[in-house]
Structure 1
Amino acid sequence: MPSALFRQFILKVHNRCDLACDHCYVFEHADQSWRNRPAVMSTRTMRRAAERIAEHAREHGLAEVCLVLHGGEPLLAGPDRLGELITAAREPLRGICDVEFRLHTNGVLLDTGFCELFRREGVLVGVSLDGDRAANDRHRLYRDGRSSYDKAVRAIGLLRHDFPELYSGLLCTIDVANDPIAVYEALLDHEPPAIDFLLPHHTWDDPPPRPTVTAYADWLSAIFDRWLAGGRPVPVRTFDSIINAGRGGPSLTESLGLEAGDLVVIESDGGYEQADSLKTAYDGAPETGMDVFRHSVDEVGRHAGVAEGRGGLAALCEVCRSCPVVAVCGGGLRAHRYRGDSSGFANPSVYCEDLSALIAHVQRGSARRLGALPAPVLRSLATGYGDPAAIAWLRRSQTVGGRALLAAVGARSEAPAAWNTLREVEGLAPSALDAVLAHPYVRVRAVRRLRSLEESDDRTDDGLLATVACVAAAKAGTRSTLTVPVRDGDVYLPTVGRYRVPGRERTTVQVGDGRFTVEGATGMDPVRRLRAGAASVALDDLDPFRDCHDWPASERLDEERFQEWQTCFQQAWELLEKDYGEYAPGIAEALTTIVPLDVPHPGSNVSSAARDAFGAVGIALPEDPATLCLLLLHEFQHVKLGAVLDFVDLYDRNDERRFHAPWREDPRPLEGLLQGTYAHIAVADFWRRRCRVPQADTVAEAERHFGKWYPETLAAVGTLQSSEALTGLGEQFVALMRATLESWDPSVPTARSD
Structure 2
Amino acid sequence: MNVAPLPAPAFAELARTSSAPAGLTLLRSALHTRRLLLLKALLVRVHGQREAVEPGALGRFERSWDLLERVERGHPAVVRDVLDYPMTGVWLATVLAEPAGPGFDRLLARLDMVSLTAALRCGGPLDLTVENPDGLLSLPGVGRLRVAADRVRISADDRTVRFHPDGARHPAPAVLTLVDRRHGVLAGRGPDWSPVRPLPRGTARLDDLDPYRVPVGAAGGSVGTAADHDDIDHAAWSARWHAAHELLAYTDPGRAVEVTRSVRVIVPLVPRGSRHRGATLSAAPGAVLTSLPDGAQGMAETLVHELHHSKLATLHEIVPLYGPGRDAVHQVGWRPDLRPIAGVLHGAYAHLALADLWRRAATVDGVRKSWRSDAGQQFDELHDQVGEALAILLESDELTPEGREFAEQMRRHHASLGAAPLAAG
TM-score, normalised relative to structure 2: 0.83
Between the aligned partners of 1:575 and 1:564, the Cα distance in structure 2 is 16
Larger RCO (CA within 8 A; separation ≥ 6) = 2
8 A contact 1:661–1:716 mirrored in 2: yes
Q: Corresponding residue for 2:205?
A: 538
Q: Corresponding residue for 1:744?
A: 417
8 A contact 1:470–1:511 mirrored in 2: no
Residue 579 to residue 750, structure 1, CA distance change in 2 (3 Å) = closer
Q: Deviations over 1:465-495 (max 9, x none)?
A: 2111111112223433333332532110111
Q: Corresponding residue for 1:495?
A: 141
8 A contact 1:541–1:595 mirrored in 2: yes
Matched, 1:652 2:298: no
Matched, 1:525 2:158: no
Q: Corresponding residue for 1:202?
A: none
Query: What aligned pairs does 1:308-323 form with structure 2 within 5 A after superposition?
Result: none
Residue 416 to residue 702, structure 1, CA distance change in 2 (3 Å) = closer
Which sections of structure 2, spanning at least 5 residues, go unmatched? 47-57, 166-171, 174-191
The match for 1:513 among 150, 158, 172 is: 158
Q: Deviations over 1:382-430 (max 9, x none)?
A: 1112412211221122122222222333341542221111111121211
Matched, 1:615 2:286: yes
Q: Residue 738 of structure 1 aligns to which amino acid in structure 2? A: R
8 A contact 2:374–2:423 mirrored in 1: no
Between the aligned partners of 1:571 and 1:501, the Cα distance in structure 2 is 37
Matched, 1:563 2:235: yes
Instruction: Note the C-alpha offset of 1:586.
Output: 2.3
8 A contact 1:433–1:472 mirrored in 2: yes
Secondary structure of the corresponding residue to residue 199 of structure 2: strand
Instruction: Note the C-alpha offset of 1:566.
Output: 1.2
Q: Residue 377 of structure 2 aligns to which amino acid in structure 1? A: R
8 A contact 2:251–2:367 mirrored in 1: no
Q: Residue 253 of structure 2 aligns to which amino acid in structure 1? A: G
Q: Corresponding residue for 1:331?
A: none
8 A contact 1:652–1:725 mirrored in 2: yes
8 A contact 1:690–1:702 mirrored in 2: yes
Q: Corresponding residue for 2:188?
A: none
TM-score, normalised relative to structure 1: 0.48
8 A contact 1:707–1:751 mirrored in 2: no
Q: Corresponding residue for 1:389?
A: 22
Q: Residue 12 of structure 2 aligns to which amino acid in structure 1? A: R
Instruction: Note the C-alpha offset of 1:677.
Output: 0.6
Matched, 1:590 2:235: no
Secondary structure of the corresponding residue to residue 245 of structure 2: helix
Instruction: Note the C-alpha offset of 1:557.
Output: 4.5
Bigger shift: residues 472-481 or 632-641: 472-481
Matched, 1:400 2:15: no
Instruction: Note the C-alpha offset of 1:377.
Output: 2.8
Secondary structure of the corresponding residue to residue 743 of structure 1: helix
Q: Corresponding residue for 1:375?
A: 8
Residue 435 to residue 682, structure 1, CA distance change in 2 (3 Å) = same
Between the aligned partners of 1:750 and 1:376, the Cα distance in structure 2 is 33
Q: Corresponding residue for 1:272?
A: none
Q: Corresponding residue for 1:717?
A: 390
Q: Corresponding residue for 1:135?
A: none
Q: Residue 140 of structure 2 aligns to which amino acid in structure 1? A: P
Between the aligned partners of 2:305 and 2:350, the Cα distance in structure 1 is 5
Between the aligned partners of 1:408 and 1:654, the Cα distance in structure 2 is 24
Between the aligned partners of 2:147 and 2:102, the Cα distance in structure 1 is 28
Q: Residue 23 of structure 2 aligns to which amino acid in structure 1? A: A
Residue 407 to residue 749, structure 1, CA distance change in 2 (3 Å) = closer
8 A contact 1:382–1:733 mirrored in 2: yes
Matched, 1:661 2:335: no
Secondary structure of the corresponding residue to residue 519 of structure 1: strand
8 A contact 1:530–1:566 mirrored in 2: yes
Q: Greater Rg, structure 1 or structure 2? A: 1
Secondary structure of the corresponding residue to residue 200 of structure 2: strand
Secondary structure of the corresponding residue to residue 663 of structure 1: coil
Between the aligned partners of 2:307 and 2:104, the Cα distance in structure 1 is 35
Instruction: Note the C-alpha offset of 1:648.
Output: 1.5
The match for 1:452 among 98, 104, 126 is: 98
Query: What aligned pairs does 1:633-644 form with structure 2 within 5 A after superposition?
Result: 633-644=304-315
Q: Corresponding residue for 2:66?
A: 420
Q: Deviations over 1:686-711 (max 9, x none)?
A: 32222135655443322221111111
Q: Deviations over 1:563-606 (max 9, x none)?
A: 1111111111011122122322222222110001111124x322
Between the aligned partners of 1:494 and 1:424, the Cα distance in structure 2 is 19
Instruction: Note the C-alpha offset of 1:517.
Output: 2.2
Bigger shift: residues 434-443 or 378-387: 378-387
The match for 2:379 among 699, 706, 723 is: 706
8 A contact 1:446–1:464 mirrored in 2: no
Residue 617 to residue 721, structure 1, CA distance change in 2 (3 Å) = same
Q: Corresponding residue for 2:298?
A: 627
8 A contact 1:490–1:499 mirrored in 2: yes
Q: Corresponding residue for 1:471?
A: 117
Instruction: Note the C-alpha offset of 1:615.
Output: 0.8
8 A contact 1:529–1:536 mirrored in 2: yes
Paired residues in the alignment total 380
Q: Deviations over 1:246-283 (max 9, x none)?
A: x3x5xxxxxxxxxxxxxxxxxxxxxxxxxxxxxxxxxx
Between the aligned partners of 1:514 and 1:673, the Cα distance in structure 2 is 50
Q: Deviations over 1:145-203 (max 9, x none)?
A: xxxxxxxxxxxxxxxxxxxxxxxxxxxxxxxxxxxxxxxxxxxxxxxxxxxxxxxxxxx
Between the aligned partners of 2:270 and 2:121, the Cα distance in structure 1 is 32
